[in-house]
Amino acid sequence: MTSLTPSRAGLARALSKMGYCSRSAAFRSIREGKVSVNGTIQRDPERPVSWQRDRIEVEGRVVAAPAKVYLMLNKPRGVVTTASDEKGRKTVYAGLDANLPWVGPVGRLDKASEGLLLLTNDSEWAARVLAPETHLSKTYHVQIATVADQPLLKTLIRGVASSDGGVLRAKAARLLRSGSKNSWLEIVLDEGKNRQIRRMLDACGVEVLRLMRVAIGPLTLGELAKGDWRFLTKEEKRGLDSAMTR
């Protein structure tokens, strides 16, 4: 197997790392003969290239790595975290500025979930945010269709068995408030497995009514309105970076 330097990668991955498009979109463009390297059409998405030295073009236009951008979005419920949807559902890209460079979501929130979602064209940074070894906490507020008690909270922290033979557990769980028929919990994860909170609560026989991510590490959703987005400040980006290096 060829060993690639940090400035070299397979062609599809290089287009993604340059912030041009998603890796899957790059695969399609390459297979369709829309991408050339140093003047020659390439149809192999794994063809090694250097995005610093090779001239990469898509449909005749030179691809240059844009400046890195880091965004936060308050994802509404009912919106899917994808660039396009075969069912025609509204995606998180619908409200973004058309003048932005291509950005990809850092992880996902499922259709029924809402709240803080990061987007960036810095694929290496996104991978670090998602890497389990960084232990970057993600905080959620969850409304459940029952009145929570201490045994439920302890079970979430102790962990429940998952269908793949592993264990799903929360880093922390506490009661925020309760009504006569439902409760709001704060659940903190430092993993990020697919639909983890819903799967944990389902294993406990508890229905989730709403699920909202309110923080990633030190970054909080704050007063950002539903469906709105903004750039991270330098201080916010620095705070996330610091939280990942502790």
Instruction: Report pLDDT for 152.
Output: 95
User: What is the average per-residue pLDDT within 105-117?
Assistant: 93
The domains located in the chain, with CATH, are: 8-62 (3.10.290.10), 70-132+219-244 (3.30.70.580), 137-216 (3.30.2350.10)
User: What is the average per-residue pLDDT within 76-86?
Assistant: 82
Q: Are 112 and 9 in contact (CB under 8 A)?
A: no
pLDDT digits (tens, 9 = 90+) for 41-72: 999 999 998 877 888 999 998 887 778 899 99
CA distances from 113 to 10, 110, 117, 143 (A): 34, 5, 11, 11
Q: One of 44, 54, 97, 110 is an active-site residue; which one? A: 110
Other Cβ atoms closer than 10 A to 145: 12
Instruction: Report pLDDT for 1.
Output: 35
The answer to whether 110 is a known catalytic residue is yes
pLDDT digits (tens, 9 = 90+) for 215-231: 999 999 999 999 999 99
Instruction: Report pLDDT for 50.
Output: 83
pLDDT digits (tens, 9 = 90+) for 1-50: 333 444 678 999 888 877 788 888 899 999 999 999 999 999 999 999 88
Instruction: Report pLDDT for 201.
Output: 95
Task: Write the DSSP symbol of residue 4.
Answer: P
Report the residue count for the chain. Answer: 246
Instruction: Report pLDDT for 7.
Output: 63
